[in-house]
Amino acid sequence: MTRPERVLVTGGSGVLGRDLVRRLQDRAEVRVLSRRPPQGPGFVQGDLETGEGLAAAVDGVDVIAHCASAADYRRPQRDVTQTRQLLAAVRGARPHLVYVSIVGVDQIPFGFFQAKLDSERLVEESGLPWTILRATEFHDLMLMFLMRLCMGPVAVVPRNALFQPVAPGDVAERMAELVTGPAAGRVPELGGPKVESMADLMRSYLDTVQRRRSIIEVPLWGRLGTWFGVGGQLITDGDRGTVPFADYLHARITSDGVLRHPYR
Ligand SMILES: NC(=O)c1ccc[n+]([C@@H]2O[C@H](COP(=O)([O-])OP(=O)(O)OC[C@H]3O[C@@H](n4cnc5c(N)ncnc54)[C@H](OP(=O)(O)O)[C@@H]3O)[C@@H](O)[C@H]2O)c1
């Protein structure tokens, strides 16, 4: 396949999408879909849930990198609606659709993961050329969880919970390769370079921000306990990113002077 001329990035204003857009800009004409008024050249206003603005957003693109997500854990089906609306907008055209999903969506009995799996199926059955990359949790998302878990006088983390967080830049780099390459179906999963317990991740966070907190590990029962225990959110034989969590936090605080997570 020749290099794409025009690429639409849904979620191009989000954590992954912003980085992906930066990496694609000198390789193709990049369009960014956002619900907000245009924030720069290439921005197209539209809403994946209502369908508003989507026809113009997809018009004439060779590749769609679908990175948007409502990230609504209470109403996970919103992500399925978004994917469905995107596919409906494409109509008779045949852009290559590159979708980013999450490691473990087929193993973990959690509504949001089920919705991502349903979205994967819509992509596979769309009749379009497609590529799906599953990635583990981004460092920024783990940072958000950790900041919330240590708001009190002690830091409370789940016991036996293992994660393999990955730098969004590593995921963006892989996505950029996939967007500029031919449709590849399912590609190897991408995880971070290290598997770490939530307590280890909390220690890295507290060290970085130079805060002292006792860390209490509490057992998780029920479906969540099973989920963490099985390790379904870790990659088995996929690819590994390059930046460990602690190094990522250190680099961020060094450059920004403060550590904030970008999620609402
Ligand atoms: N975060 C993780 O740890 C992780 C791990 C693995 C895979 N993923 C997947 O990677 C993708 C990107 O995640 P992220 O953390 O970078 O997301 P994010 O920062 O939360 O960004 C979400 C993006 O979705 C867009 N969006 C949401 N609702 C929309 C709507 N109705 N219409 C149009 N755009 C809409 C937002 O754009 P506006 O607000 O500008 O409209 C925003 O750019 C998601 O599919 C996610 O499931 C994430």
The CB of 187 under 6 Å from ligand 1? The reply is no
- Pair type for strands 185-186 and 130-135: parallel
Write down the mean pLDDT value for the chain.
Answer: 94
Q: What is the pLDDT of residue 247?
A: 98
Band (107; pLDDT cuts 50, 70, 90) = confident
The CB of 59 under 6 Å from ligand 1? The reply is no
The CB of 133 under 6 Å from ligand 1? The reply is no
Band (5; pLDDT cuts 50, 70, 90) = very high
Average of per-residue pLDDT across 139-157? 95
The CB of 68 under 6 Å from ligand 1? The reply is yes
In the chain the domains, ranked by start, together with CATH numbers, are 6-256 (3.40.50.720)
Q: Is the pLDDT of residue 69 over 60?
A: yes
The CB of 234 under 6 Å from ligand 1? The reply is no
Q: Residue 153 Cα, ligand 1 centroid: separation in angstroms?
A: 32
CA separation for the pair 64, 81 (Å, rounded):
17
Q: What is the pLDDT of residue 48?
A: 98
> Which of 105-109, 216-220, 223-227 has the least mean pLDDT?
223-227
Sequence-distant (≥ 6) Cβ neighbours of residue 137 within 8 angstroms = 102, 163, 164, 165, 166, 233
Q: Residue 52 Cα, ligand 1 centroid: separation in angstroms?
A: 18
Band (224; pLDDT cuts 50, 70, 90) = low
Q: What is the pLDDT of residue 45?
A: 98
Q: What is the pLDDT of residue 126?
A: 97
Distances, alpha carbon 53 to alpha carbons 50, 62, 68, 214, in Å: 9, 18, 15, 50
**Nearest-CA residue for atom 11 of ligand 1:** 67
CA separation for the pair 122, 66 (Å, rounded):
12
Query: 199 by DSSP, 3-state: which?
Result: helix
Q: Residue 100 Cα, ligand 1 centroid: separation in angstroms?
A: 10
The CB of 34 under 6 Å from ligand 1? The reply is yes
Band (230; pLDDT cuts 50, 70, 90) = low
CA separation for the pair 223, 172 (Å, rounded):
31
